[in-house]
């Protein structure tokens, strides 16, 4: 399935910090850039996320702000 | 001013595609990664965005989904 | 690729209204429920969206508000 | 009050999973479709959400991505 | 209908700038504070927005970032 | 750094409710208006948020819905 989100960056799961409802997931891209994501704990289980496994950070362009 | 958004990536404005209300802005990071953003035309003017100028892509962690 | 977004609803593209930067896409689910999405024009082309073709509406749980 | 969000789907609260700050709310629509939402615990109390009670899932069109 | 969004601010529509798909709506609160919103053109028509009429700005807490 | 988000409101941190992953932050503006934000616990620490200290609520226009 191709996704409409313009930003899709492949990397490796570096860290998963679990909470009651949400989890904080850090994904490290090839160049060392780290992207932080907050998803639900059930999503972590549904998609079988584990530290060291490949994962893609997916970001809708309308959710990206710009600083200058 | 420090911003709470966990994801802040510095780069250069590569492209600005203007619409009536919104504009599509492409920011190229040092490693060649390109991040697409949709912001309002007034925001483009307010912060003085121009192709070739430095810019930072700012993304709240709760707006990052994960694929695996 | 499995996506962390909790809400993924399969349907058929009913309508695509094009703008300069964004497009409004209506997806009709099996039961007649219609979901409206705003994505970029480039995304419409990238994923080859066409009226009458299958498409999935993808919504992060943190982007769903509740009324009661 | 009429809301600008294009997607408003009426259903019944099926489940509420409570966390420290957020709660995960599942809303079942007439056709069995279940929509997951993450809202704050205070919002759950403010609007008097309870399992078995009617509730509406409200989603801004710009927060709906498309897969194809 | 009570809405789960924690931030609901009543004001008057000050300006509506129309685009092909989206419109930019400025809402002025009692104290002169102006909130900018981007909603679809169809939403503007659906809820009968007009300059000078009352309107409420509705913002989910998870969409508010903090600077310090 | 100037930020593209159209809505930037200065105030004072009134309350911080901590969770495992997220925190709920209330910012009181000069006129008594209170804006609720959900940010990650790490963001609270990164930007040194404390009750009584100045803080700015930052909201992208596309994340503001309208009621009428």
pLDDT of residue A20 exceeding 90, the answer is no
Q: So what's the pLDDT on residue C45?
A: 96
Q: What is the pLDDT of residues F18-65, one digit of tens each?
A: 988 889 999 999 889 999 999 999 999 999 999 999 999 999 999 999
Provide the pLDDT for residue F21.
Answer: 85
Burial class (CB in 10 A: 0-12, 13-18, 19+), F44: buried
What pLDDT does residue C24 have? 94
Position A24 confidence tier, pLDDT thresholds 50, 70, 90: very high
How far apart are the CA of D23 and the nearest CA of chain F, in angstroms? 11
Whole-angstrom Cα distance, residue E56 to residue F68? 6
F35: chain E residues, CB-CB within 8 Å: 7, 59, 64
- B7-63 per-position pLDDT tens digit: 999 999 999 999 888 899 999 998 899 999 999 999 999 999 999 999 999 999 999
Find the domain containing D27 and state its range: 7-60
Nearest chain C residue to E20 by CA: give it: C19
| CA dihedral of E15, E17, E23, E24, whole degrees rounded to 10 | -50
Q: Which residues of B touch F48 (CB under 8 A)?
A: 2
Q: Write the CATH number for F25.
A: 2.40.50.100
Is residue F66 a part of any domain in this protein? Answer: no
> Does residue B65 belong to any structural domain of this protein?
no
Residue A65 lies in a domain: no
At residue F20, the pLDDT reads: 83
Contact C2 B67 (CB under 8 A): yes
SS3 for A8-27, per residue? EEEEEEEEEEECCCEEEEEE
* Residues of D contacting chain C (CB within 8 angstroms): 3, 5-9, 13, 24-25, 27, 29-31, 33, 35-39, 43, 47-49, 53-68
Distance CA F35, CA F25 (A): 8
Q: Is residue F65 part of a domain?
A: no
> Per DSSP, what are the bridge partners of residue F54?
F12
Q: What is the domain count for chain D? A: 1
pLDDT digits (tens, 9 = 90+) for D40-50: 999 999 999 99
Average pLDDT of chain D is: 95
**Could you report the per-residue pLDDT of D9-32, keeping only the tens digit for each?**
999 999 999 988 889 999 999 889
List, for residues E4-61, the tens digit of each pLDDT value. 999 999 999 999 999 888 899 999 998 899 999 999 999 999 999 999 999 999 999 9
């Amino acid at each position: 399935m191709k996704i409409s989100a313009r930003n899709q960056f492949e990397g490796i799961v570096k860290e998963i910090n679990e909470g009651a409802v949400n989890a904080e997931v850090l994904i490290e891209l090839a160049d060392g850039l780290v992207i932080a994501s907050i998803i639900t704990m059930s999503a972590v289980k549904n998609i079988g996320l584990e530290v060291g496994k490949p994962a893609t950070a997916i970001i809708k362009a309308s959710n990206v702000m710009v600083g200058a």
